[in-house]
Amino acid sequence: MTNASVLVRAARKSRGLTQRDLAQRANVDQGRVSRVEGGREAEFSTIERFLGGAGHRLYSAPTRRDDAATIAATIRGYLRVGDKYSALRELIQLNDNLVAEHGLVRGILGLAEPEPTGDRAWDAALAALVDLRLREEGIPAPAWVDAPKRRLAVPRTLDVDPADPTPAPVDVPVEFFQRGVLVWRDTLASV
């Protein structure tokens, strides 16, 4: 489940706004935006106001599963401390979340653009996974999954375990291969 800070930050960044820009549009001071994005609790009306300032609306979906933006924030935290195994578990959890939902709800889980994780391969992997699972349902992928920053110029693995062999292109899902992320197809199987 997306928390307010991730939601507001994702909405703001999807429009290329600074915190100051959003504050002006929402008619509040920039510090208030910063506090909400930093995780301070805010009333529903405040979140709705910030989202409106970014040209977004808040909708409710019948799910308790985390979306791509929330999972990306968790992955970023694990990558900062060098824990790629836990980051991979989160990527697999996103896969499980997407597979468990169908139709519009699946699309909603991939809709908000995740913030960068700090590693372009992981950013590309998130885009590839959302693209893969939405295509399975015949749902159009959001524009963020095709952004150039979500592709690698030189293909590589996620470097989770140096002992893992690099998969051959036929062993990599097409959506990952197109983005330069070499991930074994069976990596996406839940464990």
Residue 168 is encoded by which pair of tokens?
Answer: 């051959």
Whole-angstrom CA distances from 121 to 30, 43, 154, 164 are: 32, 36, 10, 16
pLDDT above 70 (res 2): no
- Predicted confidence band of residue 78 (pLDDT cuts 50, 70, 90): very high
Architecture of domain 4-53: Orthogonal Bundle (1.10)
Share of the chain above pLDDT 90, in %: 63
CA 73, CA 65: separation in Å to the nearest integer?
15
> In this predicted structure, what is the pLDDT of residue 41?
84
- pLDDT at position 190 is 64
Q: What are the extents of the domains in the chain?
A: 4-53, 68-188
pLDDT at residue 1, rounded to an integer: 43
Q: What is the DSSP letter of 148?
A: G
Residues 96 and 191: beta-carbon distance below 8 Å: no
Report the distance separating Cα 148 and Cα 109, nearest Å.
21
Q: Which amino acid makes up residue 134?
A: L
pTM above 0.85, yes or no: no
Can you give the pLDDT at residue 137? 93
What percent of the chain has pLDDT above 70?
A: 97
Pick the more confident residue, 124 or 7. 124
Joined together, the tokens standing for residue 13 give 């960044």
Can you tell me the mean pLDDT for 111-125?
A: 94
Longest dimension (CA), the chain: 54
**CB neighbour class for 27 (10 Å; exposed up to 12, middle 13-18, buried from 19):** exposed
Per-residue pLDDT tens for 18-70?
Answer: 999 988 999 899 898 899 888 888 888 888 888 888 887 777 778 899 999 99
Does residue 119 carry a pLDDT above 50?
yes
